[in-house]
Structure 1
Amino acid sequence: MMISAMPAPSADRAAPGRDRASADVSATAWALAARAGDPDAADHFVRALHGDVLRHVTYLSGDPQAAHDLTQDTFVRAFGSLHRYEGRASARTWLLAIARRAVADSIRRAAARPRTADAVDWQAAVESSQPRGLPGFEDGVALIDLLESLSDERREAFLLTQIVGLSYEEAAGFVGCPVGTVRSRVSRARGVLERLLREAETASAPAA
């Protein structure tokens, strides 16, 4: 089954000052109407959230080239389980959770194959895909800045386990190193990030 997952018209995406809460309400209403069998609502639902899903999977996977396939997979999964969606969480939250599982499954499959490329350029992927104008965007930018201070190996281990949600064993299989090495890299990455956060908080505190 193929789902048409086309982005919303550019004028809609670029609308200044768009009310995110209102957009979430609309997307949720479209999801519920689609569950009831309304094909137009299904199309509106896809168009409303396509961009957010695409950015999210690009960020989590670190692979812009695979992002469109992962977005397609996310919507296929969503429509396959839409009959169970009751609107208790916003459609955006529900859909991004599905996207997260799609990325994790993709990485698990990749972990079972020999690695053919160097470390993923996480920084470039995050910078090119980070959404603008969304709640928490400034926090996301701050996290990107902090992650830049990590070595490639520590950043990769941290993102795979703490952002994507792979187990240490799965991350070790993907990276191609012992589990203990992944644990060490994540621990050291946490230590660096925590230190940088403390330094940033101290620097931003008003002078006594």
Structure 2
Amino acid sequence: MAFEYLKSMSGGLDKNAVLSDIMLTYGEDVWNYAFFLSKNRTLADDVTQDVFVRVYERLYTFRGEASIKTWLLAITRNLVRDHWRSAWIRRVIPFGILRQEGQEPSAESQVIGLLAEEEVWNTVLGLPFKLREVLLLHAHHQLSYAEIAKLLNVSEGTVKSRLSRARAKVSQQLGEEGRKA
């Protein structure tokens, strides 16, 4: 869906209607990305809400240099990072509790109920942050190397390298799990 009207907001479009369209179109992607980054459902809920509050407040700042999805995912990434840096969350929520919640199977694997999908999901969640993030943006959100590079403020070569290492680690870990079974 093209949101050309974001460029012409002075044309009298209802800000609430624009936000509603954006939320309906990208809400699930924002939540999934927040969950992938945080491994915490409650934090993903909070971040998703904060993303759309921020979008509502700053809707007119969208410059159209990237897609709306890329803009939203950048906001999501920054807010997750802000939450983790917050002294409050480090004092109130012990790190071990957050890690345990991340071990639960994904919503997708619960719905589908396939053991193999759950295993892949947990393997991806176990990747180091930088590798997991690139793999998620490319495989799940279907962003191009250029879009990922712009979002993360790194070179396309770095994106390709991280993606290659992420895939290799997932393959290696799944291969080891297969030999154990």
- Class of the TM-score when normalised by the shorter of the 2 chains: 0.5 to 0.7
Map of 1:83-162 to 2, 5 A cutoff?
Answer: 83-109=60-86, 112-113=90-91, 115-116=93-94, 117-118=96-97, 119-124=99-104, 127-128=106-107, 145=120, 148=123, 155=126, 158-159=128-129, 162=131
Q: Structure 2: how far apart are the matches of 1:97 and 1:191? A: 22
What residue ranges of structure 1 are gaps of 5+ in the alignment? 1-22, 131-140, 166-189, 201-208
What is the aligned partner in structure 2 of residue 29 from structure 1? 4
Q: Structure 2: how far apart are the matches of 1:77 and 1:64? A: 20
> Percent identity among equivalent residues?
23
What is the aligned partner in structure 1 of residue 59 from structure 2? 82
1:52 is aligned to 2:33: no
Q: Is contact 2:34-2:47 (8 Å) kept?
A: yes
Question: Secondary structure at the residue paired with 2:72?
Answer: helix
User: Scaled by the length of structure 2, what TM-score is found?
Assistant: 0.55
What is the aligned partner in structure 1 of residue 19 from structure 2? 42
Q: Structure 2: how far apart are the matches of 1:149 and 1:98? A: 22
| Alpha-carbon RMSD | 4.1
Q: Structure 2: how far apart are the matches of 1:52 and 1:196? A: 22
The structure with the larger Rg is: 1
Q: What letter is aligned with 2:61? A: R
Per-residue displacement from partner, 1:55-84 (whole Å, max 9, x unpaired)? 221221111123222111011222333222
1:194 is aligned to 2:168: yes
Q: Structure 2: how far apart are the matches of 1:199 and 1:69? A: 32
